[in-house]
Amino acid sequence: MQRRDFIALLLGVATARAPAFPASAQQPDRMRLIGVLTGFDESDPEGQRPLSAFHDGLNQLGWVDGHNIRTKYRWGARDASSVRTEAAELVRLAPDVILVNSSSVLRPLLQETRTIPIVFLQVNDPVASGFVASLAHPGGNITGFTPAETSMGGKWIQLLKQVAPAVNVIAAILSLSSTANVAMLRAAEAIASSIDVRMTTLAVSNGAEIERAVEEFARQPNGGLIVLPDPVTNFNRELIISLAARYKLPAVYAYRYFVADGGLLSYGIDPADQYRQAAAYVHRILKGEKPADMPVQQPTKFELVINLKTAKAIGLTIPESILLGADWVIE
């Protein structure tokens, strides 16, 4: 049995435990195929956790893996070439709908198909990125969920300055292949200039580049990091967290799992919430609705997570006002 099929079996077991079919769910006359293309590595538990939430959502709507749906997973965390290969392979399977996370995964998939329905997650600014015509009326074969507005880049700068007032130069670690990441960077730069903080960019595409860039940046005093969300930074999160600790660089991240793994603080969505919502969109598409007519949804809830152990290790005292506003504090 191939590893990806074993992972699929594990996820299917979890969903099969719930009640098989709500009364409201009519059964299709054939097995439906759902494709999943993700920018995570298949061994990454943070790639598995939201997928379990997705299948829980499908199960509640009457779609049970191995009974009336099959799910095929493809993983493309390591580099752009692997994403293109996995996208082409998934399209050849002709699924009824494809779920994807991140613009770095969506873009190569759209080069392979403009007809198979696609539901995206964690894609910032899909209009500016050219993926949809508008949020209200996406058009084409895709719709989905955004994790934040581009202004989030400015929010990360403000938070970092609040928890580490001595910071006066901030490096943004990002992949320039993402249009939304560039827009977030511009928002961060605008806020930084208003509070007398200098910004610099560490454009990276792999772990070796990350290590060299952070090592060079850390030579100057009073530095901090913002880590923009992307498969490159997700895949290398342990490296980034360890570098921030080694050089005592305060850093802010987009997702809670960075902080759970030892990062200082994060502000953003819980991806599992949107995966559950995505299940409803996949359900509607399987029942005959068109992605072109399904509005792109924006988040309404963000969480602030702080790791006090990490703060202590790099010599920071988190202000009480920040702690009181946190959704989760790791001590």
- For the chain, which residues make up each domain, given as ranges? 3-146+271-293, 152-268+302-330
Contact in structure between 50 and 275 (CB atoms under 8 Å): yes
Can you give the pLDDT at residue 77?
A: 62
Task: Indicate if the pLDDT at residue 201 is higher than 80.
Answer: yes
Can you give the pLDDT at residue 13?
A: 41
Euclidean distance between CA atoms 13 and 119, whole angstroms: 23
Contact in structure between 89 and 74 (CB atoms under 8 Å): yes
Residue corresponding to tokens 């709500």 = 22
What's the half-sphere exposure (Cβ side, CA atoms, 13 Å) at 302? 17
Task: Indicate if the pLDDT at residue 1 is higher than 90.
Answer: no
User: pLDDT for 157-189, tens place per residue?
Assistant: 999 999 999 999 999 999 876 777 788 888 999
The topology under which CATH files domain 152-268+302-330 is: Rossmann fold (3.40.50)
Can you give the pLDDT at residue 325?
A: 95
Task: Indicate if the pLDDT at residue 18 is higher than 50.
Answer: no
Task: Indicate if the pLDDT at residue 92 is higher than 50.
Answer: yes
What are the tokens at 223? 């530095």
Percentage above 90 pLDDT, the chain:
73
H helices of 228-327, in order, are: 231-235, 237-246, 256-260, 271-286, 308-313, 320-324
Asked whether the domain spanning 152-268+302-330 has the same topology as the one spanning 3-146+271-293, the reply is yes
- Cα 254 to Cα 34, 74, 134: the distances in Å are 28, 24, 24
Q: What is the mean pLDDT of the chain?
A: 89
Can you give the pLDDT at residue 125?
A: 87
pTM: 0.85
Can you give the pLDDT at residue 100?
A: 96
Task: Indicate if the pLDDT at residue 213 is higher than 60.
Answer: yes
Euclidean distance between CA atoms 130 and 140, whole angstroms: 11
Contact in structure between 98 and 281 (CB atoms under 8 Å): no
**Structural class in CATH, domain 3-146+271-293:** alpha beta
Euclidean distance between CA atoms 306 and 312, whole angstroms: 11
User: pLDDT for 291-314, tens place per residue?
Assistant: 999 999 999 899 999 999 999 999
Task: Indicate if the pLDDT at residue 8 is higher than 80.
Answer: no
